[in-house]
Amino acid sequence: MPLQFVYSHQDFVTDLCRSGGDCTETAGAPAKFDTTIQAGWTDRMDRGLFRYHLGDLRTRILPGPRGYVAQLNVQRGIERRKPEEILSIRQQFNARQFNFNKINPDEVICEMMKDSEGDGALPDNGEVPRPCRMVVLVNVSPLEFGHCLLVPDPSRCFPQILTRFAIQVGIESVLLSSDPGFRVGFNSLGAFASVNHLHLHGYYLDRDLKVESAPVKPLVPEKGFHRMLDFPAGFLFYTESEDVGKVAGAICQVTDFFVDGNIAHNLFLTRGCPPCGRTQSESDRCSRKGVRVAIWPRTSCFGAKEESAFNVALCELAGHLPFKNEKDFELATEKDVVDVIQKYLLPEDEFNRLEQQLTDHLTSL
């Protein structure tokens, strides 16, 4: 029987800051969530359940204003499971392909269950019952320390298309952590998702990323919807603990719009400061009481296309660059990275049209 991790609103960490300026990081013992994930992950590493021993990854910050965090992870490029061939963003789940019902049960860290009594749980809407559990298992080809997969009720065999439940628990996972370096992300089919079985990634990266504090332009602020002003062009939602359900619903409306339009997309969830324009106070810039959800629509990649240096998926768009070989890790410049990422972004006119469509869509709902 997997470990049950039961949580409620009272477990959310709401006073987190990045160090610097007028802020200091929250002191004290790690949150119960972090203790559970990290102890479970380390135990599986010690027991040899991973494809390779991760160790301390060589890391460098690329010179330049974007502060790209480059890491050398040769073993992941060599040892990771061959990705499933993806032909459509709406590809059906195929039980004959690898999926998370086929894993070693020892890879499961826990099952997350929300104690939602009086806690603002998602309402029933008469549709297919939503899954009530999120299975957390180790990623046996890890990118970084604590790299795990969050899989909504694997037995339901959902394809890799986001649901409101998956988004909400993803946000709640970030709020449950007292470590500002805990991140959650999602790759759609056509955006370098390698398994067509609904899952999110979670991992720890003890480095600042620009997406945590990048300036934004409000689009539909009452639903937390903004446009990011810095490269790479994308959209951003922001929520604090009391509005998670409402914002998760709005995010799902956007991702459903992408799926209906056959638009590939990546999401990155991280502690971040409240939305702002170009000017912000130091205390606001350091605040991490809420969660930023960055969403990048992008061109689709089907088949086995891969960059020799790195793929452009959730990590790379957020500024975290796992390199597969030492030469690229040592020699890559910020311009090199921007040039690669630019190839996967939507053309500016197409992005601008999409921005208007999404603004109208969210305003009308």
Any idea which residues carry the catalytic annotation?
Answer: 199
Distances (CA, A) of 231 to 148, 157, 211, 285: 28, 35, 10, 18
Helix (H, G, I), strand (E, B) or coil at 225: strand
- What's the distance, Cα to Cα, between the start and end of the chain in Å? 42
Cis geometry, peptide bond prior to residue 232 (ω within 30 degrees of 0): yes
Dihedral sign, CA of 250, 253, 255, 257?
A: negative
Asked if 266 and 186 count as a contact pair (C-beta separation under 8 A), the reply is: yes
Closest CA to 147 of 338, 314, 325, 326: 314
Helix (H, G, I), strand (E, B) or coil at 82: coil
Q: Which residues contact 158 (CB under 8 A, 6 or more apart)?
A: 93, 152, 197, 198
Lookup result for tokens 């992300």: 185
Give me the helices (H) in the chain, please: 32-46, 74-79, 164-176, 244-260, 282-286, 314-318, 326-331, 334-342, 348-364
How many other CB atoms are there within 10 angstroms of residue 169's CB atom? 24
Give the CA diameter of the chain: 55
Helix (H) or strand (E) holding 273: none
